[in-house]
Structure 1
Amino acid sequence: MGALYVKDDEVRQMAEELAAVCGVTKVAAVKRALANELARMTPRLSLGEKIAELRRTSPLRYDPDVIIDKAFYDSLYDDE
């Protein structure tokens, strides 16, 4: 891995601290920090959008006409 040269003493110190805590090189620590920051800034789907995506891609289908009550659960245990 290549060397990391940072002119800012505070940034260098933070990179050294993160590297020590993570047990990696300064370059790996800076790479991890940058990747995490970029991931944090990337727009995320809302809960509703996630649920809609799961419903769209799931092999299981939701039937709003099915009533989940005691009779439904009892029917799961009926011997045919």
Structure 2
Amino acid sequence: MPLYIRDDLTADLVARLAKERGMTKQDAVRMAVQAELDRARDAKPLSERMREWRAAHPLPPPTGLRADKAFFDDLSGESG
């Protein structure tokens, strides 16, 4: 079944990709669509990526120190 691309910008992008890769426009479209399908299949949800990042970079243990206004004033060089 034929695929008609009626958008000039899309047609130009396909032609450019085909020329740069030395392939037909049909192969360029197939390669681009397959690459996007592969990317979507392999994509991890943000919640999973964050869970992995947090496991690799855990928070330091609590110090028991109180971070109140006086603490932050001292950090900024202000006397309270």
Normalising by structure 1, report the TM-score.
Answer: 0.47
Work out which of the two has the higher radius of gyration on C-alpha atoms and give 1 or 2.
Answer: 2
Normalising by structure 2, report the TM-score.
Answer: 0.47
With a CA cutoff of 8 Å and minimum separation of 6, indicate the structure with the bigger relative contact order: 1
